[in-house]
Amino acid sequence: MNQNAHRYDWQDWLAGIMRSLIGGGSSGVLSGLLSMGIAPDKFTLIPGHGLGATLVMMGGMFVGNGIIGMMIFLKTHSGPDEEKVQQPSLVQQLLEQIDEKPATHSK
């Protein structure tokens, strides 16, 4: 991998793609469930009476809506952001200052 590529936060970017794909696809499952109210004779959860059609609709909607969600993510995040350097918190800074001070012992 190119040395320049190490500066970017690839892990968060790829996780964002997966989250958008699953988030968009989850509406496909809801679409399949709602289809039972629109056409209960064709879409049911009863095996042999429309379960296959319901699962096909859920799967197709999951893939379609997932791709749309992923495209929206890629439109706003076309590439990974540069990695941010973590700044120590105020508590961490205070603890470091305490550790740096020499201990004085009184007799």
pLDDT value at residue 67? 92
What residues have CB less than 8 Å from 11, skipping those under 6 apart? none
Instruction: Indicate the pLDDT class of residue 102, thresholds 50, 70 and 90.
Output: low
- What is the residue-averaged pLDDT of the chain? 82
Q: Is residue 90 part of a domain?
A: no
Task: Give the tens place of pLDDT for each residue, 49-93.
Answer: 888 998 999 999 999 999 999 999 989 888 777 777 666 677 777
106 in any annotated domain? no
Please name the residues in contact with 70: beta carbons below 8 A apart, sequence gap of 6 or more.
17, 20, 21, 24
Give the per-residue pLDDT at 46: 85
pTM of the model: 0.64
How many structural domains are present in the chain? 1
Say whether pLDDT at 1 is over 60.
no
Find where tokens 């991998």 sit: 1
Would residue 14 count as lying in a domain? yes
Residues forming beta bridges with residue 82, ordered by sequence position: 8
Residue 97 lies in a domain: no
Q: Which domain holds residue 28?
A: 3-83
**CA gap 54, 41 in Å, rounded:** 11
Residue 99 lies in a domain: no
Instruction: Name the least confident of 30-34, 38-42, 47-51, 92-96.
Output: 92-96
Do the domain assignments include residue 42? Answer: yes
Residue 75 lies in a domain: yes
Residue 91 lies in a domain: no
